[in-house]
A and B are shown apart, each in its own frame.
Chain A
Amino acid sequence: EVQLVESGGGLVQPGGSLKISCVTSGFIFSGSALHWVRQASGRGLEWIGRIRTKNNNYATTYGESVKGRFTISRDDSKNTAFLQMDSLQTEDSAVYFCARASPLYSSRDSFNYFPLDVWGRGTTVTVSS
């Protein structure tokens, strides 16, 4: 069974840092891009960023609201991805989800798309003094 499990969330003061993890199992982690998405309480989904595979030089891309403050990394030997969050602000309080991007075939278009097909349950980060 494919699983993603986030951990490491908690309470942190404004200006502080936190590193959360996404441990995966049931698939070839090294062959998949991994995304992070967050959701503030009662709000919608916000895409944070993604990390590609070794074949794609572990390239990362970030959303504007976290660029320069958040860093995504991965350890393929441990099937784990990480989200390092620095200079945290109260508006970063949210549930943080990791999600796998898989090649899924479209017969209509005759090629693969890469939607977020499996998600973890999320870990809660609260930024407050």
Chain B
Amino acid sequence: DIQLTQSPSFLSASVRDRVTITCRASQGVAGYLAWYQQKPGKAPKLLIYGASTLQSGVPSRFSGSGSGTDFTLTITSLQPEDFGTYYCQQLDTYPLSFGGGTKVEIK
């Protein structure tokens, strides 16, 4: 099974900061990686798929990059509504798997 390791597990940043979250896969997943945002008590929301394609309606301050085993989610200018927990997911090999999550707090 493919393990996904996210870092950091927690980060606290100020509005307008640039934030970077990384996701490392235990084996290559090509571009079959998605990023989700989850707010407390809510369902996850798809942000990025195919490692770098922005889902419709998601603000352009979110971007994704990477291929193979190393991926990055970047928020170029953090906004107050961006708090929550971010998860990566690999869709290359079954069983599918999620990273452990990165909780983002607004200072």
Knowing A64-B1, A119-B43, say if A46 contacts B50 (CB, 8 Å): no
- The interface residues of chain A lying within 8 Å CB-to-CB of B38 are 45
**Residue B59 is within 8 A (CB to CB) of chain A in the complex:** no
| Contact, CB under 8 Å: B97 / A47 | yes
Interface residues of B in 69-107 (CB under 8 A from A): 85, 87, 89, 91, 94-101
Q: Give CA–CA (A108, B38) in the complex, Å.
A: 26
- Shortest Cβ distance from A69 into chain B, in angstroms? 14
| Contact, CB under 8 Å: B50 / A108 | yes
Q: Give CA–CA (A108, B64) in the complex, Å.
A: 12
Interface size on B, residues (CB 8 A): 28
Q: Give CA–CA (A86, B55) in the complex, Å.
A: 36
**Residue A70 is within 8 A (CB to CB) of chain B in the complex:** no
**Residue A97 is within 8 A (CB to CB) of chain B in the complex:** yes
- The interface residues of chain A lying within 8 Å CB-to-CB of B49 are 104, 106, 113, 115, 117
Q: Give CA–CA (A64, B87) in the complex, Å.
A: 20
Interface size on A, residues (CB 8 A): 29
Per-residue interface assignment for chain B, residues 19 to 60, with 1 indicating a CB less than 8 Å from any chain A CB and 0 otherwise: 000000000000110101010001111100110110100000
Q: Give CA–CA (A63, B2) in the complex, Å.
A: 12
**Which of the residues A46, A104, A120 comes within 8 Å of B43, measured between beta carbons?**
A120
Knowing A64-B1, A115-B89, A119-B44, say if A106 contacts B55 (CB, 8 Å): no
- The interface residues of chain B lying within 8 Å CB-to-CB of A44 are 85, 87, 98-101
Knowing A63-B95, A116-B46, say if A108 contacts B1 (CB, 8 Å): no
**A–B pairs, 11, beta carbons within 8 Å:** A44-B100, A45-B89, A46-B98, A47-B89, A64-B1, A64-B95, A99-B44, A106-B49, A108-B52, A116-B34, A116-B46
Known: A44-B87, A64-B1, A105-B53. 17 other contacts (CB 8 A): A45-B44, A45-B98, A61-B94, A61-B95, A63-B95, A104-B53, A106-B49, A115-B50, A115-B55, A115-B89, A116-B34, A116-B36, A116-B44, A117-B46, A119-B43, A119-B44, A120-B43
- Which 10 A/B pairs are nearest by Cβ-Cβ distance? A106-B50, A119-B43, A115-B49, A115-B34, A47-B96, A45-B98, A113-B50, A63-B95, A44-B101, A106-B53
